[in-house]
Amino acid sequence: MDRTYSCIQHLDERYIQINRDYMLLCNFSQVKAAILWMLEEAKDEWTSLTLDSFGPVASMWELDESTLTTAKSELLTSGYIEQHADGGTVEYQLNVSAVQQALDALDYSALEQMDAEMDVARLDVE
């Protein structure tokens, strides 16, 4: 197993990346931001999104089926993801053009304000 991506040998090599612009796009919903990232990583492949897709993060976030279903539904409604049924399995794909258009239209001042608040919080801790 090639583990050259990290100096740590993880037992579970799966990970979830939370992009800051996805957080802003998803009103700071980690679950929805993570879904967008997972589908982005899948490229043009249709992907099933289950609790298992989140690996150990599901328990860390206390993610349940209801929360995941709601997040997928909201992303479908916004047009950021698409779904189809392959046999009996529902699969999802990123709507790249809709997501890119939404990201291009974002007001990033909210992220700058969040950064400033985090800097102040760090100062309070130190």
Model pTM score: 0.78
Which of 4-8, 25-29, 38-42, 101-105 shows the lowest mean pLDDT across its residues? 4-8
68: which residues sit within 8 A by CB, 6+ positions away?
A: 31, 49, 50, 51, 54
Answer yes or no: is pLDDT of 78 > 70: yes
pLDDT class for 3, splitting at 50, 70, 90?
Answer: very low
What's the rounded mean pLDDT across residues 100-104? 93
What residue type is assigned to position 75 of the chain?
L
E strand residue ranges, the chain:
81-86, 89-94
9-46: per-residue pLDDT in tens? 666 666 677 888 898 899 989 999 999 999 998 988 99
Can you list the domains of the chain with their CATH numbers? 20-120 (1.10.10.10)
% of the chain with per-residue pLDDT over 90: 45
**18: which 2 tokens?**
């939370």
Tell me the per-residue pLDDT of 57-67, one tens digit each, with 9 for 90 and over.
888 888 899 99
